[in-house]
Structure 1
Amino acid sequence: MKRLEGHVALVTGGSRGIGAAIAVRLAEEGADVALTYRADEERAAEVVERVKATGRRALAVRADSAEPAALTAAVDETAGTFGALDILVNNAALFLTGPFEEFGLAEVDRTLAVNVRAAFVASQAAVRHMDGGGRGGRIISIGSNVGERAVFPGLALYAMSKTALTGMTRGLARELGPRGITVNLVHPGPTDTDANPADGPSAAAVAGFTALGRYADGAEIAGTVAHLAGPDGRYVTGAALAVDGGFTA
């Protein structure tokens, strides 16, 4: 059974890594899927083809999440193209590490713009489409285990940005619940991606902080997102779910 049949989803930063895995999983569950990407058109096109291979419609929109107007336009284009918007996954993120005293204001501002402001802006834009016809909706943001446990130095900026999503999620859950919109946060643990490969130079040390002793596959994160987006997740809101192999246990 396709649990998301007839639904429309938008995944920001969906051209690679966890975002790509989420886009494909939502399509496998029956949703038509749009994704945003900043620069890599070829990778975005590959994900579009993977979505289409499931029999669903797909759309890739170039949009820098640091640009509010571009992000809002991507939300509106998704709803206009597919006729609705039921699921928003705030996935796009910037991961900068290093001693906090060495970060310039431009780096701080861009990190907060992409990791925090973009989720707020996209949610604002999405809600306008979710309200119509009493359909309700789902807003799911992708946080990080680092927001709950920063085990190495150099993570202050990234951890700060991801922790902010916890407050946003709780506040929006209260505000949007009466309108049938749930709002949740998923904290992935170390996940095997191009940017953070499971065979990277520090991977063994990072995996050692998990209870399971390994990295996740992107599909394991996507499975939790699909649950929250589907009918079985309709009574879950304001929650922060760790999918981290016991990293924060």
Structure 2
Amino acid sequence: MRQGFTLLELIFALVVISIVMLGIPGLFKQTANQAQETLKLEAVTQAYRSIGTALSYPWDEHSRDENLSRSLILDVSNFADPELARETNTSRYRRGNFNEKVTRIFYPTKTYATLGKEIGESKIDDLDDYNGHLEQISKVSNRMGMILNIDLNYSVYYIRDSANYSTRSLSITISPLSIENNSTNIKLIEVNASLPDVNNEYIILRAFSCNIGEPKIAYKDLTH
């Protein structure tokens, strides 16, 4: 029965162990990369969820008319596209709309859109209340067993709504760079999802919502 190793066997064993040890840092790096990719995927998911939730809110807190049970068109500043304003100062319709109350209409008197929470308001009740909102999420990843930290920063802007409606072919450019200080008919919401644990990497999602009100939905009365 052998009681030891030959020199050749010892050298061979050391070589094999060295090769294995050299591969360990690569495994750690691969695991770290997988963890970072998990963080990024989670950030995208959370940003998508957040922007979808924000868009489910009314365009403005003054949009909803409870008496009519639908949203109406709001008045905005004179810096917005004038072709989207009331047909006349006393009209409840935009140019081209049918003079019927079942269509998208304005309030009887001028009612203006706002941006941000009203004084004394604490809860979010419309899209622009998300402006300046910060949401911090910490959760445990089931895949990696790590704590995921995600910061969600919300911004809401008015952006330019001008277009040439006199042409037969209409084109309009909606750009996050065309920010307006005064109210227009388009609000853009931006969600910045940053990862403080991954070199502060971030992803930005944007979406827009328009001041168009709601038509009255016709339905059949089945009780008669």
Question: TM exceeds 0.5?
Answer: no
Q: Which has the higher contact order (CA 8 A, sep 6+)?
A: 2
TM range (shorter): under 0.3
The structure with the greater share of residues assigned to strand is: 2
Structure of greater Rg:
2
TM-score, normalised with respect to structure 1: 0.24
More helix by share: 1
